[in-house]
Structure 1
């Protein structure tokens, strides 16, 4: 039975020449947008000044696409089918982010996410209608695959040392090219070099490659032209090799999961072809993986043309062989396979045999590669990553910790969430140990804590409804109908499944692919007529177009102003690196802050400028300006550590150290694992308390000493907690007692008549080398604390006397003092 949408699609597309000009303008504009977007690496969630401008420019351009859509489809919108409600429902996604904005942990990041969600909604609305047209659907699918293949090729340009060439190809329109090279197309971490292409993050590139590996296999089998079959078959080896070069364990783990799920949607003949093509390309890729890996590692250290040619030869020759095999199989074997399995395909449960067999084969391969020495045939960096795939591996344990910490945020912000970017703003408050991660490494956890239960329920209902209706319609329609939109299902499913364990959707290009995919699935869904509620009148189209048009204007104006603000902020930053002129730096900052008063980077630069002038002139006008700017900004960005520190510095400029310390203590719960924060609390608490004691202010002394001691005790509790972490889990940032913390905490214990705790604390800092003044002072106070209790540590005392004979007398005097 054929899904009705395909009949409609064919009818609409029968007279291509009758399409209005704006229809083709929309397609051309969308193609250009899809080509431009992935090379704007700044589209990663807009969390830094350098990353913002392309993000806001992309959002502005999407608004223009929306206007083109309105000009073409304002008469077509009717509330007659279930699908017709989806362009309305998608508007709830940015609305939920807008609601979460008002109680957001970071208004700056939250507004960015509101705009990003608007972009996603626009992509979905355009896709739902545009992709119902057969010609448009074909063009967009071709564009998506072409862009994917360009990204893969771009990655290999960088892997084989052609960074300058790659940079020159995209530098004229990409903001990610610095010093002639695309930033971090090959990244370096503790695992060595990892291929990232345009994404600057290997795991997200792996998710992208996984999706397009299956997309390439699908397109290879679907293609009717020999050159189409050859092109898609040719790209299988580069995609698989790129996946291996990302060194992404998550990609390798999730790939077989998605593969088996997709097989369930295919007939046995196609299932076998999928398996055959993946096997051929996989074996071919593994055969040259060591050479391609070693050559790439060598070329990224030092470029040599001959070595690069060798690398390309391996890649291109093997890819060409696979392309010939793919064409041959499609031309000669595939038709016979279809005919031979025609009867078997009609049997019940026929589609389960290959997925079950694939699961067994994958299990055996996984055991061989992970549980035996077979992996040693692979390049060392790849085999090392495979060897560490297990549930006790540190990245798995760390992700589980992220998820648990994320749920702590949800508990405190259950209904509407903590706003877009909440994890980046809040994770230091809720973290279980001192890791550094501005992403929760799980799209669903991150979405839940950003928009709360209400927003998350709406989002999940939205995507699950589309998946349900698409799958239902898929099994009802004919073979042509299934093939027409299955690409969107592949891409959307692959990315969303992988996003269970990573933050792929934080990359706006990836998010766009998902929402275009959802739009494509909605275009093909099993759309039932509305029986009880149906408005077919043309007025509904006008009303909807008017509403989204107004929203589009607001988004366009906002994003355009943010582009201007980002440009001004970047100009100020650039000027500040080459000039000390107050007026030159302030002028562009004023432009940025006039539009975004709480923009963190510009607030910090402007406050620094005010403080610098105040130091030179002692004019209170500049001190007050910095104070007012920081205080107001912190109302919207209460978790911004750098702003809090800058405000403390501002108090210290006027020697208002007590106010600075109050701010330090008040904000300590926001940064529970920042050892530098604790050290400041302890050291400054002692200094302020000691000064108060000298002034006879006992109440203030007790208060400062109490705060300092509490900070020290929190550090000790933290150290005990870290000792309970699984040995495989990395603790994160350094978190340990420093000599100054131990010394000043010991002094505070001593001066509050707790010599037992003072001795216990100071003993932790004892060192053999007493030539260092801090080490000697720790030993000095330690012996005094011991003697205060009527005991002694003669060995330490002898060491002190050896360094300074007067120590015995000084310690005796200290013991006699009653604080």
Structure 2
């Protein structure tokens, strides 16, 4: 049944009535608290890994699980609010239903065969949180005050984070990981503890501040927002993020056509003034930060803050002058010369002039000399041949191999972390694919990825169409900060793992919800057709209510489990560990969160340690049973494979060989597994030979030789990796040389045995393996009627018993 046409006045009045709702303001309060609290907790980084130290995962998951509870309370209140005023208008609001298909895409692999049940469920939980943010943001952004406060909350929390990062940089606050030192020098990461993702966040904040300056009706508001420009741009410089420095102007140029000409000019002028100030300050700030990183100096810190404050005030004053004089002047020019489409061609002029300016700067050594040396080097290395670009190329190639194993629906959240080692082109270590698209493809396949990007694309299309129609009106500009944040973070996420930060992903979905609400402003009769009427209007709010209650219960259990696991982990740090208390805590955690592999690995580790100390079989059996139970859900857990191998090698060589052999394709760049297969194959082959089973012996020996040949093929493949990439060592180990030498010796190929063992000789004979290599090398020469007296003397000098061993081998 079609409802009567709703006039613009009636539509706006209904929106304004929502302001008075206690529920509305309660939800708004929850969202604002989240915006100001969450980024200071490592940006809610998603630790999609259970191979790191268990304490890391417990530490990172606590704020994440706390956020779940926070958000589902807000979603519950949102559902109550929707029951009283749910007005989904127009076909575009069907996206309120479509958003729940994204978590469904993450649920499908959980129900089939995920790479890791634990990580797949983690992915599902965070996607449910993002979908909740979308609905909440849509509800809040449907009225003027809600949209304004959320957008201001995003920006002001960003301003606070910028100041926090600089407080650490200038030595006023001590915080671990906020500043990192690597081969590029010192880098500012703020609470994200990763410079590139902080740079992506800064781009959103800088562009948002510029837009607030350009759209402010009062000079004081413009000057207030301008105060943060120099600190934010300085912070971007201090991240040393090449991608951030390149992407900032690119995103700005992409956004300018949606803004009035006067606003474009105001933004460009403010950015230029703030950028010059930030670059001038970058040299002193880098030197001061480097000194304060190692020592405390209040006077030096005060000097840095005075310089920054002076620069910021200059920028703010000039911004106020620009705000007063530039827009009226531009308006007169537009009217005089009828510059109707100037907002479209002016960005092209900026692109041309800016490109020439950048080229001149990069080729002017005197300009570059004004910058810190490490920044000069980073700018000079901006090209497609740099190692980080080439490394990402291999990540993407390897990701597609994973995608091809489950192309339609993927293998669930955390698939890259679980499987990348089995598909990698060389032995890099990265639990992130460094690209939102490829990581999404590994998680939910082509079907899920197309759904997600179609969802994003539809909202952007509806909003852009709306802005084009209403760009001159307040309605057209009301939600633009959402658009800025969305574009900035998404654009950078295709170069790095920004969306592995729960906070940044939440901002994306908050932005999408805000844009959907912004695109629903009245304009045509079709837009005003409600899609809910009668009893049907209760279905969606009821669904949201039920989901919020269910997930609130789940989230409370997750947080309680994490708290119990934290107690167990803390118990291990005590001088005298009380095993009963530890077991009690970790069992509580596992009962509350049964799929958490972190907790299982922690308990297995302790049970194994206790067994090694007491030799009580009860502990070993419990550890083995727990490992067997988790193997079905976590077939790629390196830790569980390692324990299974260690248990088997003690009394079941055949099983140990099977475990080591099945681990090679899972971890093809871990030489340890190749060594284990070769050593076990030799030992079992030698035993078969002693038992007069020559065929069995030769089969084992051939397996060991085949493993060596496989390693050589992989070593050969590394030659195709560009020299600019630092490839981790993949060298034949001493035990592997010993195995090959002894196989040749046992087969009577003495010259070949000596040739194999000779390169592995070492003057350091402290280890038994090195003595064996030298012993069998000398024995192989003796079998040929030769000798190497120098090595005979070295062996006997190290251990007089070696003389007798050599006599036995010579007479054998």
| Normalised TM-score (structure 2) | 0.91
Question: More deviation in 264-273 or 757-766?
Answer: 757-766
Provide the C-alpha distance between the structure 1 equivalents of 2:534 and 2:41, rounded to a whole number of angstroms: 39
Query: How far apart, CA to CA, are the structure 2 residues paired with 1:750 and 1:597?
Result: 52
Aligned residues: 789
Separation in 2, partners of 1:200, 1:658 = 45
2:490 matches 1:489? no
2:211 corresponds in structure 1 to: 218
Q: 1:559: Cα distance to partner?
A: 1.2
The correspondence for 2:558, drawn from 555, 562, 567, is 562
For 1:465-506, what per-residue CA distance to the aligned partner results, in whole angstroms no more than 9, with x for missing partners? 111111111100133123211111111001101111100001
The answer to whether structure 1 residue 625 and structure 2 residue 622 are counterparts is yes
Q: CA deviation at 1:759?
A: 5.2
Structure 1 residues 665-744: aligned runs within 5 Å: 665-696=661-692, 698=694, 701-731=697-727, 733-744=728-739
8 Å contact kept, 1:611–1:650: no
CA deviations 1:162-184 (Å, max 9, x no partner) are: 124xxxxxxxxxxxxxxxx3x31
Structure 1 residues 14 and 114, CA gap change in structure 2 (3 angstroms): closer
CA-to-aligned-CA distance 1:626-651 (integer Å, 9 cap, x gap): 11100111211111101111222233
Counterpart for residue 640 of structure 1:
637
Kindly state the Cα deviation for residue 814 of structure 1 after the two structures are TM-superposed: 5.3
Q: Contact 1:598 / 1:637 at 8 angstroms: preserved in 2?
A: no
**1:800 counterpart residue number:** 791
Which among 83, 86, 89 is matched to residue 77 of structure 1? 86
The equivalences for 1:557-596 within 5 A come to 557-578=553-574, 579-596=576-593
Structure 2 residue corresponding to 1:51, chosen from 41, 47, 60: 60
Within the candidate set 54, 72, 87, 2:96 is matched to 87
Q: Distance in 2 between matches of 1:679 and 1:151?
A: 49
Task: Compute the displacement of 1:339 (Å).
Answer: 2.4
1:121 to 128, 131, 138: 131
Give the corresponding residue for 1:552.
Answer: 548
Corresponding residue for residue 172 of structure 1: none
Q: Are 2:329 and 1:336 equivalent residues in the alignment?
A: yes
Q: Is the 8 A contact 2:89 2:520 kept in 1?
A: no
Q: Is 1:454 aligned to residue 447 of structure 2?
A: yes
* CA distance in structure 1 between the aligned counterparts of 2:593 and 2:788, rounded to whole angstroms: 61
Partner of 1:278: 271
* 1:357-404 Cα deviation digits (max 9, x unpaired): 322334334434555634232111211211221111111100111011
* Correspondence 1:267 to 2:260: yes
Whole-angstrom CA distance in 2 between matches of 1:628 and 1:608: 13
What whole-Å deviation, never above 9, does each CA across 1:517-571 have from its counterpart, x for those lacking one? 1111111126777699974314233111111222222211111101111111111
- Is 1:64 aligned with 2:57? no
Matched with 1:513 is: 507
| Pair 613,536 (structure 1): closer, same or farther in 2 beyond 3 Å | closer
Contact 1:75 1:538 in 2 (8 A): no
Q: For the structure 1 residues 352 and 769, does the alpha-carbon distance in structure 2 shift closer, same or farther, using more than 3 Å as the test?
A: same
SS in 2 for 1:188: strand
Moved more, 771-780 or 503-512: 771-780
* Cα distance change on mapping 1:226 and 1:775 into 2, 3 Å: same
Does structure 1 residue 351 correspond to structure 2 residue 343?
yes
Conserved 8 A contact 1:78-1:84: no
Q: 2:596 aligns with which of 579, 595, 599?
A: 599
2:435 equivalent among 432, 442, 450 = 442
State the alpha-carbon separation in 2 of the partners of residues 771 and 640 from structure 1: 34
- Paired residue secondary structure (1:193): strand
Distance across 1 between alignment mates of 2:634 and 2:694: 36
RMSD: 2.8
1:217-267 residue CA offsets vs partner (Å, 9 max, x unmatched): 000111122321111111110010000001111111222221211122223
* 1:79/1:540 contact within 8 Å kept: no
Structure 1 counterpart of 2:3: none
Give a deviation string over 1:257-292, Cα, whole Å, max 9, x none.
Answer: 212111222233322222211111111111111001
Secondary structure at the residue paired with 1:435? Answer: coil
Where 2:427 maps in the other structure, the secondary structure is: coil
Partner of 1:305: 298
Shift of 1:111: 0.7
Q: Structure 1, residues 287-318: CA drift from partner, whole Å, max 9, x if none?
A: 11100111111111101100000010111110
Task: Name the structure 1 match of 2:14.
Answer: 12
CA distance 1:256–1:413, change in 2 (3 Å): same
Equivalents in 1 of 2:11, 2:707: separation in Å? 68
Structure 1 residues 444-453 or 775-784, which shifts more? Answer: 775-784
Q: CA deviation at 1:771?
A: 8.8
For residues 133-183 of structure 1, the C-alpha deviation after alignment (integer angstroms, 9 at most, x for no partner) is 00111111111111010000100110001124xxxxxxxxxxxxxxxx3x3
Query: Residue in 1 aligned with 2:53?
Result: none
Q: Structure 1 unaligned runs (5+)?
A: 165-180
- 8 A contact 1:127–1:520 mirrored in 2: yes
Change (3 A) 1:742 1:315: same
More divergent stretch after superposition (36-45 vs 425-434)? 36-45
Q: Distance in 2 between matches of 1:520 and 1:532?
A: 18
Distance 1:771 1:71, change over 3 A: closer
Cα offsets for 1:776-817 (capped at 9, x unmatched): 6445545666787x7x9x7x8354355469999987985886
Post-superposition Cα deviations, 1:745-797, rounded to whole Å, max 9, x if no partner, equal: 33234435666764554344245778986556445545666787x7x9x7x83
Compare 707-716 and 58-67 and name the one that shifted more. 707-716
Offset of 1:610 from its aligned partner?
Answer: 2.5
Aligned to 2:54: none
Partner SS state of residue 542, structure 2: helix
- How far does the alpha carbon of each residue in 1:639-674 deviate from its partner, in whole angstroms, 9 at most, with x for none? 11011112222334x523332232111121110111
Alignment of structure 1 residues 394-433 onto 2, 5 Å: 394-433=387-426
Residues 77 and 540 of structure 1 are in contact (CA less than 8 Å); yes or no, is this contact kept in structure 2?
no
Matched, 1:190 2:183: yes
Task: Identify if the C-alpha distance between structure 1 residues 754 and 404 changes in structure 2 by more than 3 Å, giving closer, same or farther.
Answer: farther
Corresponding residue number in structure 2 for 1:651: 648
CA distance in structure 2 between the partners assigned to 1:207 and 1:365 by the alignment: 24
1:363 and 2:355 matched = yes
Instruction: Go from structure 1 to structure 2 and tell me whether the alpha carbon gap of 1:604 and 1:804 turns closer, same or farther (over 3 Å shift).
Output: closer
For the Cα contact (< 8 Å) 1:43–1:509, is it kept in 2?
A: yes
Q: Return the offset for 1:7.
A: 6.2
SS in structure 1 of the partner of residue 187 of structure 2:
strand
Following superposition, the deviation at residue 717 of structure 1 comes to: 1.8
Q: Distance in 2 between matches of 1:492 and 1:105?
A: 30
SS state of the match for residue 341, structure 1?
helix
Query: How many Å separate the matches in 1 of 2:567 and 2:668?
Result: 35
C-alpha contact 2:741 2:756 (8 A) present in aligned 1: yes
Answering whether residue 291 of structure 2 is matched by residue 289 of structure 1, we say no
CA gap of 1:694–1:360, structure 2 versus 1, over 3 A, is farther
Task: Write the distance in 1 (CA, Å) between the matches of 2:84 and 2:96.
Answer: 14
Tell me if the contact between 2:410 and 2:444 (Cα under 8 Å) persists in the aligned partners. yes
| Contact 2:557–2:593 (8 Å) recurs in 1 | no
Q: Which residue of 2 aligns with 1:110?
A: 120
Deviation larger for 657-666 or 401-410: 657-666
Q: 1:702 to 1:162 in 2, by over 3 A?
A: farther
**674-683 or 135-144: bigger deviation:** 674-683
SS at match of 1:419: coil
Q: After superposing the two structures, state which structure 1 stretch, 801-810 or 53-62, moved more.
A: 801-810
1:75–1:541 contact (8 Å) kept in structure 2: no
